[in-house]
């Protein structure tokens, strides 16, 4: 199954989802599905990759384990960041007013599918 199809399923299954992107460790887009401006989603993906890398380092130093997920909430948007492998990560953007629990559930399922496709 192609990455775009997996990401598309994620965006379709989460009410209020604006876009999902699979990016590499440098923040470069591998594939994406967007209901928002494509360029804006790529910028969000790259920026969240920096946050993921920094927080991964902190968690490894403090706990000796790997980071599982990050949720960033602003006034108008929620962003979920999840490592897929050490080299790739998923970013899901959604409206602030929508259910975070459902988005986390679906994003976790998506990570498994993406990991299976990569490996």
Residue spans of the domains in the chain: they are: 3-118
Instruction: Report how far apart the first and last C-alpha atoms of the chain are (Å, whole number).
Output: 12
How confident is the model over 10-26, as pLDDT tens digits? 999 999 999 999 999 88
Res 1 pLDDT > 70? no
- Euclidean distance between CA atoms 49 and 15, whole angstroms: 24
- 3-118 carries CATH number 1.10.260.40: no
Helix 3-13 and helix 100-118: axis angle, to 10°?
Answer: 170
Res 65 pLDDT > 80? no
How confident is the model over 68-117, as pLDDT tens digits? 899 999 888 999 999 999 999 999 999 987 688 999 999 999 999 999 99
**What is the value of pTM for the model shown?**
0.90
Residue pair 79/107 in contact (Cβ under 8 Å)? The answer is: no
């Amino acid at each position: 199954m192609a990455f775009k199809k997996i990401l598309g399923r994620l965006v379709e299954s989460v009410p209020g989802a604006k876009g999902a992107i699979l990016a590499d460790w440098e923040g470069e887009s591998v594939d994406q599905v967007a209901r928002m401006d494509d360029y804006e989603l790529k910028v969000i993906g790259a920026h969240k990759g920096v946050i993921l890398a920094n927080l991964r380092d902190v968690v490894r130093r403090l706990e000796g384990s790997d980071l599982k997920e990050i949720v960033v909430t602003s006034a108008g948007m929620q962003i979920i960041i999840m490592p897929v492998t050490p080299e790739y990560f998923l970013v899901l953007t959604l409206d602030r007013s929508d259910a975070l629990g459902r988005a986390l559930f679906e994003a976790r399922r998506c990570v498994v599918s993406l990991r299976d496709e990569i490996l």
